[in-house]
């Protein structure tokens, strides 16, 4: 057999970068940037800036596509009972409440 298989070894998982415009995946941000220049030249991007979905981990170089993804695919599921703003984590909610609702801070510190 020219390709012996070893059950004890596996290839390391490569983290892929996702093109938010056409769903192609690339093994590096550099490759994604090249793709964007050639295939999607009208989309404005900021070199070196990636927008990451905190729920699923997908990365975007286009802020608008990232925001669309957040709204449609991975919407926030934690919300403030005082003003109805939405958040992705309880930690974000608590930070929001301490900053925007300081008069109710004691609700979090009661025993």
Q: Which residues pair with 59 in a beta bridge?
A: 52
Q: Is 63 exposed, middle or buried (0-12, 13-18, 19+ CB in 10 A)?
A: middle
Question: How would you write the pLDDT of the chain (111 residues) with one tens digit per residue?
Answer: 555 555 555 656 667 787 777 778 888 888 888 888 888 776 656 666 788 888 888 888 778 888 889 889 988 888 899 898 988 888 889 899 989 998 875 554 443
Q: pTM of the predicted model, to two decimals?
A: 0.43
Q: Residue 105's pLDDT is what? A: 59
pLDDT attached to residue 110 = 41
């Amino acid at each position: 057999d020219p390709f012996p298989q070893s059950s004890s070894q596996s290839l390391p998982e490569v983290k892929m970068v996702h093109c938010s415009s056409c769903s192609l995946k690339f093994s590096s941000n550099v490759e994604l940037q090249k793709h964007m220049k050639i295939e999607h030249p009208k989309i404005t991007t900021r070199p070196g800036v990636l927008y990451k979905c905190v729920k699923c981990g997908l990365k975007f170089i286009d802020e608008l596509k990232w925001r669309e993804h957040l709204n449609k695919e991975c919407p926030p599921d934690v919300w403030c009972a005082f003003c109805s703003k939405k958040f992705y984590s309880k930690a974000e909610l608590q930070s929001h409440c301490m900053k925007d609702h300081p008069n109710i801070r004691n609700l979090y510190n009661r025993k």
